[in-house]
Amino acid sequence: MIRDDYMSYINKKKYGKFSKSEHVTDQEVLEEAIMSSDDESGNDFPKFNEDTDMDNPNIIVGLVFPTGDVYRKAVRMYSIKKGFELKFKKNDPGKISAYCSRKCGWKIYASYFRGTKAIQVKSIYETPHRCSWSYKNRSANANWLSNQFLHELHDDPNWGLKGFMKAVKRKFSIYITKPQAYRAKEMALQTIQGQHKDQYLRLRDYCATIMSRNPGSVAYLVADRVAINRNPIFKRMFVMFSAQKIGLEA
Ligand SMILES: [Zn+2]
């Protein structure tokens, strides 16, 4: 089992069973783990799950990400949670390096996983990261903030900027400026509006489905159209299933 070998190497490294002069790197640990395994499928490497792990990613050597985009997103989130700013080197898609913007030596390297489009963390240097907490973080940009607070802004679209800024500080220990808060809020509100628009567009399909699946049913939308070049505005929807009609007529 790759994972067992790998973990035993990590433990040996962690608890100092290798002498310091050996300078065992994570890269060597990983290579050794791969070499010493009978199982070539690689199924035992830990896999990152975007749905469950993104809120608090635990980035370790050997971890496999489904795509480069997911990996970048996760490493950014990791750096925000650990209180430091990350910089990516300009790499090709199969080799991704990033480092602490204060150049303390913390560095992470990932590359394609066995010829697939998946990305595996190959080495992390100077971990755990030791810089003092950075209250500013470019990874926490308007787009990122808007996604983090989408639910709150959906429930309260009139949330004041000061309250929003305080919430960011409380949740992530990051200071943002008023214009940053404004941009993030605007982006979130646009996303929310877009989601609602999509829902209305689907209503038309829903009416068509009701009529085709339940012959004799009536379903239609009433919308206001102020101008030919503007989208219609929803007013009401009428649905009567054929069974209801029969019930009424009986
Ligand atoms: Zn650092």
pLDDT digits (tens, 9 = 90+) for 134-146: 999 999 999 999 9
- How many A from CA of 79 to the centre of ligand 1? 10
Low-confidence ranges of the chain (pLDDT < 70): 1-43, 250
pLDDT digits (tens, 9 = 90+) for 57-77: 999 999 999 999 999 999 999
- How many A from CA of 103 to the centre of ligand 1? 6
* Integer Cα distance of 162 and 48 in angstroms: 35
Dihedral sign, CA of 17, 22, 25, 30?
negative
* pLDDT in the model for residue 15: 46
* pLDDT in the model for residue 200: 77
Geometric angle at alpha carbon 177, from 141 and 58, rounded to 5°: 40
* pLDDT in the model for residue 31: 61
* pLDDT in the model for residue 92: 84
- How many A from CA of 134 to the centre of ligand 1? 9
* pLDDT in the model for residue 25: 60
- How many A from CA of 177 to the centre of ligand 1? 23
* pLDDT in the model for residue 18: 41
* Integer Cα distance of 76 and 79 in angstroms: 5
- How many A from CA of 175 to the centre of ligand 1? 18
Helix or strand or coil: residue 109? strand
Cα–Cα distances (Å) from 108 to 64, 190, 209, 247, in that order, read 14, 35, 51, 68
* pLDDT in the model for residue 16: 44
- How many A from CA of 15 to the centre of ligand 1? 24
- How many A from CA of 98 to the centre of ligand 1? 11
- How many A from CA of 106 to the centre of ligand 1? 6
- How many A from CA of 83 to the centre of ligand 1? 9
* pLDDT in the model for residue 208: 87
- How many A from CA of 180 to the centre of ligand 1? 24
